[in-house]
Amino acid sequence: MKKKTSAWLLLLAIVIMTAGCETGAQNGPKKTDGQVTQNEQPGSTSAQANGSGAAVHTPEQQTASDGSNTTSPSATGQASTDTNVAKVRMDNITALRLIDGKSGWIGGNGWIARTDAGPSGSVGSVWNVQYQGQGAVQQIFALNGQQAWAVMADSGSLLATRDGGKRWETVGTVPKQGTAGFLHFVSSKEGFSGSQYTKDGGQSWSALPVPDHTVGQPYFHDRQNGWVVTQNTDRSFQILHTVNGGQKWTAVMSRTTEEPLNGAIIRSVERGNAWIELIGGTGMNQTSYSLWHTADSGQSWRAVLANATAGGGPAPGISQQDNQVPKNEGVAPGMLYAVNSHTALMGGYCAPCDKPNTIGWTNDGGKTWNNGKQSFGGYGSQQIGMANAKEGWAIFSDSEQAPVMYTTSDGGQHWTQSHVFDKPAASGH
């Protein structure tokens, strides 16, 4: 009888212990959004060093159930909470570059983010922060969907990715003389920024020869072909062209202007083709400018735009009696984006207007100009990017309101709002 009683007591103890284990499992800590359990293996987001000692950032992007963008914290052997996730405020977008009509990168104060087509085909609805660091992103250039570079404004540091942005590393520094130039690469190794040239992907740079009295930044389409604007003391200016890497510059256009030039912006998408914006005087929140185009290496030029203003004076190089040249909307220039020898877009800006931003375009090499019928809010930076002659994005920032992104699929005739950056994205740095 004693043995039977002992057996029942032992069986009862086992049942009680088993029930206690199950209860503890049910009432124990549960994984929530923003938390990682110890037995998971998230990707590292800490800055690492490669063989050259460059900082490398390797976040693994995830999308939380609430639709916000997150990157996994580094695996440290301990449970991570959402206090480890730093917030990135996309309140001023300073750089934009498209990969195609659905994908692209943007940058701001200390961050770079990428978007790809969402499940429903929406554009720009989800952004993954891929990099965080010091300084504002001044420019982004993408050779394709895997290779891209970014210039940091203050330091001139050049970041690069070779895997679509999973890893961004500092590969070099663009010399000060080139940081204001338009960064572009023609291959994975060969690139240009102003008069600066690299043949090792941005690790080192050398200066290409340019004439004295240059206005704005030179533009080299490739190692041999380049463009520059110079200005003389008599208020005349010249556009010069080189076909031998700057060893010899030839004047291909000469004009006079009533007001000295205050800048020049040059874009050359195809060899022998150039779009050149000349910036004149400024006054009363108005800036005068003109836009010129050549498709035959400078043998002939077309005046595409002539924006004279009361505050800024005549459009550079355009006679006041010549009223046949089209005028862009706004009282100051926005962003110039050249697609090819036929298509270019030009933003306009009107500081006193309720919606200060506009976008115009040409698709016949500047023979005709189309002023868009839409206007957009935002008193901050204006970013325009095109994947081709039809598909493009525009983002307008504001100091008091969230930036807004628009897309076009018909070359700028119609723009549709696609995203408002009203919610901070998150990154695991």
pLDDT tens string, the chain, 429 residues long: the values are 444 444 444 444 443 444 443 333 333 333 333 222 222 222 222 222 223 333 333 233 333 323 333 333 222 222 222 333 357 889 899 999 999 999 999 999 999 999 998 766 679 989 999 999 989 999 999 999 999 999 999 899 999 999 999 999 999 999 998 889 999 999 999 999 999 999 999 999 999 999 999 999 999 999 999 999 999 988 899 999 999 999 999 999 999 998 899 999 999 999 999 999 999 999 999 999 999 999 999 999 999 999 999 999 999 999 877 779 999 999 999 999 999 999 999 999 999 999 999 999 999 999 999 999 999 999 999 999 999 999 999 999 999 999 999 999 999 999 999 999 975 554 543
* Domain count of the fold of the chain: 1
**How many CA within 13 A on the CB side of residue 27?**
6
Do residues 72 and 42 touch, judged by C-beta distance below 8 A?
yes
* Secondary structure E strands in 224-271: 226-231, 236-242, 250-256, 263-267
Do residues 237 and 231 touch, judged by C-beta distance below 8 A?
yes
Question: Would residue 75 count as lying in a domain?
Answer: no
In what helix (H) or strand (E) does residue 15 lie, and over which residues does it extend? Answer: helix 2-27
Question: Would residue 309 count as lying in a domain?
Answer: yes
240 lies in which domain range?
209-376
Question: Would residue 113 count as lying in a domain?
Answer: no
Per-residue pLDDT at 87 = 75
Residues 6 or more apart whose Cβ sits within 8 Å of residue 267: 182, 219, 274, 275, 276, 336, 337, 338, 344
Question: Would residue 63 count as lying in a domain?
Answer: no
Can you tell me the distance from the alpha carbon of 387 to that of 1, in angstroms, rounded to the nearest whole number? 89
Place of tokens 């900082």: 55
Tell me the two tokens of residue 61: 């992007």
Tell me the two tokens of residue 105: 């990168």
Per-residue pLDDT at 119 = 67
Q: How far is CA 113 from the centre of its chain?
A: 10
Per-residue pLDDT at 81 = 25
Question: Would residue 303 count as lying in a domain?
Answer: yes
DSSP state of 349: E
Can you tell me the distance from the alpha carbon of 412 to that of 381, in angstroms, rounded to the nearest whole number? 19
Tell me the two tokens of residue 362: 């040409």
Can you tell me the distance from the alpha carbon of 96 to that of 112, in angstroms, rounded to the nearest whole number? 10
Whole-model pTM above 0.85?
A: no
Can you tell me the distance from the alpha carbon of 385 to that of 102, in angstroms, rounded to the nearest whole number? 12
Per-residue pLDDT at 177 = 85
Tell me the two tokens of residue 385: 């990017």
Query: 404-408 and 416-420 as β-strands: parallel, antiparallel, unpaired?
Result: antiparallel
